[in-house]
Amino acid sequence: MSSTGTRLSKTRDALNDLDVAGLGYDSRGWLTALAALKAIAGNTSNDVSFVACLLAKAFLLQRYSVTTFDVAEKAQGAQGLDIDIMTRDGQRIVAQVKTTTPYKPHDFGAQQWHTIKRDFQKLESHKVTISISSLLARYPKNARPRNALSQ
């Protein structure tokens, strides 16, 4: 998490130092500035996914009788289940953590829905005792997705 904090600090500093008004319509200047920000930020999607896995871990440890487990054991973006653990009494819990930002203002795009459905099918293919299906998206309460996972 310290590397994420360092990248955020460097991004803040780069944005504070950026003279947006001075760039005007200078395409090379904009490319240089944006490329520098991209280089500093790195793959923030992996950071978001990792922190979401930490939240999932906290939920599972609080809600179920599981032994502690290391969410960093599997690299973010690697193939396989994000969480595959056993409770103390031998029940299996599997999970895929999704941090997808909706493509449309109030819905996921077609490819996003395809990926989400595929992940749910992957989860259903495992023999599990406890099933937790949750799709968390960044929506205000009055703007939930219009699609359903069953579509």
Residue 133 is predicted with a pLDDT of: 55
- Taking CB atoms within 8 Å and a gap of at least 24, the contacts of 30-36 are none
Say if pTM beats, i.e. exceeds, 0.85: no
Do 65 and 96 fall into the same domain?
Answer: yes
Q: Which domain holds residue 76?
A: 44-124
Q: pLDDT, tens digit, for every residue of 102-136?
A: 888 888 889 988 988 888 888 888 877 766 655 55
Q: How many CB atoms lie within 10 A of CB 50?
A: 19
Total domains present in the chain: 2
Is the pLDDT at 139 greater than 60? The verdict is no
**Whole-angstrom distance, CA of residue 85 vs CA of residue 68:** 9
**Whole-angstrom distance, CA of residue 30 vs CA of residue 35:** 8
Residue 116 is predicted with a pLDDT of: 84
Is the pLDDT at 149 greater than 80? The verdict is no
Do 26 and 67 fall into the same domain?
Answer: no
Do 30 and 55 fall into the same domain?
Answer: no
